[in-house]
Amino acid sequence: MKDYIEERVLTIANYIIDTGYTVRQTARAFKVSKSTVHKDITERLPVINPNLYERARTVLNTNKAERHLRGGMATQIKYKKLAE
């Protein structure tokens, strides 16, 4: 694996752990695609640093469990603005 990819993987993993951001928010911050962030965390990180992978995976699992709530809130806000 190229050095710059390994460095990006570790940087993204630490960013997700520190901020608790979703894959989309992280992708936007690093100007890469969601697929790249997801592949970095789920496929490359376990090979590079298994301990860091477990911590990042915990954050991603939490975000996945909460995503239906975020979607509901976004819809609620949308329709409140339309009613005004």
pLDDT by 10s per residue, the chain, length 84:
789 999 999 999 999 999 999 999 999 999 999 999 999 999 999 999 999 999 999 999 998 887 777 778 778 888 888 887
CB 39 within 8 A of CB 1: no
Kindly state the tokens that stand for 3.
């050095």
Model-level pTM?
0.79
The confidence score (pLDDT) of residue 64 equals 85
Expressed as residue numbers, the domain containing 53 is: 3-83
List Cβ neighbours of 26 (8 Å cut-off, separation of 6 or more).
12, 15, 16, 19, 37
Alpha carbons within 13 A on the beta-carbon side of 38: 8
As for how many domains the chain has, the answer is 1
